[in-house]
Amino acid sequence: MQTELCKALGIDFPIFAFSHCRDVVVEASKAGAFGVLGAVGFTPEQFARELDRLDEAVGDRPYGVDVVIPAHDVPGAEKDPETLRQELFNSIPQEHRQFAKKVLAESGVPELPEGVKHEGEYLLRSTAATARRHVEIALRHPNVKLIANALGAPPPDLVQQIKASGRLVAGLCGDALQAKKHADQGVDIIVAQGSEGGGHTGEIGSMVLWPEVIDLVHPKPVLAAGGIGNGRQIAAAISMGAEGVWTGSLWLTTTESDLTDVQKELLLAARSRDTVRSRSLTGKPCRMLRNKWTEAWDSRESPGTLPLPLQDLVAAEATSRAKAYPQKARDVTINPVGQIVGSLHEIRRTRDVVRTLAEEYLDAVERLNRVTGFE
Ligand SMILES: Cc1cc2nc3c(=O)[nH]c(=O)nc-3n(C[C@H](O)[C@H](O)[C@H](O)COP(=O)(O)O)c2cc1C
């Protein structure tokens, strides 16, 4: 399964495992894949601790980091993240705060105990103000071999800085035009994510998007994302010219995943048709399980979602209350996941998932060889 990118990064399989959970990243990298830790859910201080622990656990294996910097950021990127967070938080209309609280109350989700803050009260996600600090910290960790940006190419000075440090820069995209733009902005690796993927996602399906992007940015390496749940899909991506695959949903139901048991139960029970692209988490279309939270924000009573990062600050209360009261929040928990959720049937260890993907890939290649008479 060795592609040029595997050789460049020193990994056994061209499988990139994105997760917000450190233990998943550790196990994926130790199993020969390439774990990528999502930074967006951590304050800079928390993130620094996560990377220290990751280094201790991962040994000499390489791994990557993913930050979230939108192409059109809010003004104030130069400010201290906490100052900017307070300003933005104070600008959220009462109507939106009240609506979120009403949706949670109607499902019987208790308020957080007195004095306990929700995430929006201490963390500013999805802005350069926070993400620049994440990058700064990542650059102090030698095992970090790649830094990706969820929403395209990082700002030019960051692209320069990351490359000058000897690391690779990746950017996610959902259509060919974006891919071209990222390539022109100096991104080393394009992650082409089809609409079926979990998290922020565009409208074009993987089967159409991958070859389109691969052709357009050639010879830049492309990682195929969106809808990878087994090794046959990896074989399809590699046969189309991808240098590897970038996966997210697959790791949510692993033993190591830090989702609550209730979330894992919901994911294991869901079918592929149970996801929806909803703006209710961040203000940008994000694929997640359809439930009372997503329906409420789409309903006639909804005040409409706010743009990034304001909606994130509104949804943060739901995320924190759902973590505190998982059982009571089962109908309104925000569960980003892709359509591949319909193929997730059991809790498996991360390393077993990696091994199974590799075996299935080899079976698929053998099948192709049989069909083409190369056996
Ligand atoms: C729970 C969840 C959270 C995600 N958060 C991020 C993120 O913070 N940054 C990012 O670049 N991509 C994020 N993604 C997208 C993944 O990086 C990846 O592109 C996507 O999961 C691939 O499609 P798949 O879910 O079908 O594997 C997220 C995906 C999921 C499922």
pLDDT of residue 77: 81
Same domain membership, residue 54 and residue 109:
no
Domain harbouring 15, CATH code: 3.20.20.70
Q: How far, in Å, CA of 231 to CA of 226, rounded?
A: 14
- 76 pLDDT more than 90: no
C-alpha distances in angstroms, 355 versus 32, 71, 79, 351? 9, 36, 45, 6
With a cut of 70, say whether residue 90 has pLDDT above it.
yes
Q: Once rounded to an integer, what is the mean pLDDT over residues 110-135?
A: 96
Confirm whether 352 is domain-assigned: no
**pLDDT of 190 over the 80 cut:** yes
Range of the domain at 143: 4-70+126-253+361-372
> Are residues 217 and 130 part of one domain?
yes
SS (H, E, C) 8-42: HHCCCCCEEEEECCHHHHHHHHHCCCEEEEECCCC
- Looking at residue 293, what is its pLDDT? 98
Q: Is the same domain home to 19 and 135?
A: yes
The answer on 282 and 171 residing in a single domain is: no
Q: What is the pLDDT of residue 267?
A: 98
Q: What is the mean pLDDT of residues 92-110?
A: 98
Residue 373: per-residue pLDDT: 87
The closest-lying atom of ligand 1 relative to the alpha carbon of residue 193 is: 19
Residue 67: the pLDDT is 98
Give yes or no: residues 120 and 233 share one domain: no
Angle at 312 between CA 340 and CA 184, to 5 degrees: 70
Do 91 and 140 reside in the same domain of the chain? no
Same domain, 205 and 232: yes
17 CB near ligand 1 (under 6 Å) = no
Q: How far apart are CA 210 and CA 190, in angstroms?
A: 10
Burial state string for 112-142 with b = 16 or more CB within 10 A and e = fewer than 16: beeeeebbbeebbbbbbbbbbbbbebbbeee
Sequence-separated (6 or more) residues with CB below 8 Å from residue 162: 135, 139, 147, 154, 168, 169
* Cα(63) to centroid(ligand 1), Å: 16
Q: What is the pLDDT of residues 209-236, one digit of tens each?
A: 999 999 999 999 999 999 999 999 999 9
Is 347 a member of any domain?
Answer: no
Residue 266 lies in a domain: yes
User: Using a 6 Å cutoff on CB, does residue 198 contact ligand 1?
Assistant: yes
Q: What is the pLDDT of residue 211?
A: 98
351 within domain boundaries: no
High-pLDDT (> 90) share of the chain, %: 97
User: Taking residues 267-277, what's their average pLDDT?
Assistant: 98
Q: For ligand 1, what atom is nearest to the CA of residue 148? A: 11
Q: How far apart, in whole angstroms, are the C-alpha atoms of residue 89 and residue 103?
A: 19
Q: What is the average per-residue pLDDT within 143-152? A: 97
- Whole-structure pTM value: 0.98
* Predicted pLDDT of residue 186: 97
Ligand 1: residue whose CA is nearest its atom 28: 199
Q: Are residues 264 and 303 in the same domain?
A: yes
Confidence tier at 375 by pLDDT (50, 70, 90): low
Residue 37 CA to residue 51 CA, distance in Å, equals 9
In this structure, what token pair is assigned to residue 273? 């048709």
The answer, yes or no, to whether residue 285 has pLDDT greater than 90, is yes
Mean pLDDT of the region 134-155: 97
User: Chain-centre distance of CA 53, in angstroms?
Assistant: 20
Give the count of domains, the chain. 2
Q: What pLDDT was estimated at residue 1?
A: 84
Q: Are 298 and 278 in contact (CB under 8 A)?
A: yes
The structure tokens listed for 292 are 């009372």
Do 182 and 220 contact (CB within 8 A), yes or no? no
Atom of ligand 1 nearest to the CA of 249: 25
Encoded amino acid at 213, one letter:
V
* Cα-to-centroid distance, 248 and ligand 1 (Å): 5
Task: Report how far ligand 1's centroid is from the alpha carbon of 227 (Å).
Answer: 11
Q: Is 66 in the pocket of ligand 1 (CB under 6 A)?
A: yes
- For a mutational test of ligand 1's pocket, the pick from 15, 16, 18, 223, i.e. the residue with the most ligand atoms closer than 8 A to its C-beta, is 18
For residue 225 and ligand 1, the question of a CB distance below 6 A is answered with yes
What are 2-58's pLDDT values in tens digits?
A: 999 999 999 999 999 999 999 999 999 999 999 999 999 999 999 999 999 999 999
Rounded Cα gap, residues 152 and 191, in angstroms = 9
Closest residue CA from atom 14 of ligand 1: 199
Domain-located, residue 148: yes
Residue 87 within any structural domain of the chain: yes
Task: Give yes or no for residue 246 CB within 6 A of ligand 1.
Answer: yes
* Mean pLDDT, rounded, of the chain: 97
In a domain, 12, yes or no: yes
189 and 85 within one domain = no
Span from the CA of 285 to the centroid of ligand 1 (angstroms): 12
Is residue 270 within 8 A of residue 340, CB to CB? The reply is: no
Q: Residue 15 is encoded by which pair of tokens?
A: 């499988």
Local confidence band at 370 (pLDDT 50, 70, 90 cut-offs): very high
Our answer on whether the CB atom of 120 is closer than 6 Å to any ligand 1 atom is no
pLDDT of 94 > 90? The answer is yes
Cα of 374 from ligand 1 centre, angstroms:
37
- Sheet with 275-278, edge to edge strand ranges: 199-200, 286-289, 275-278
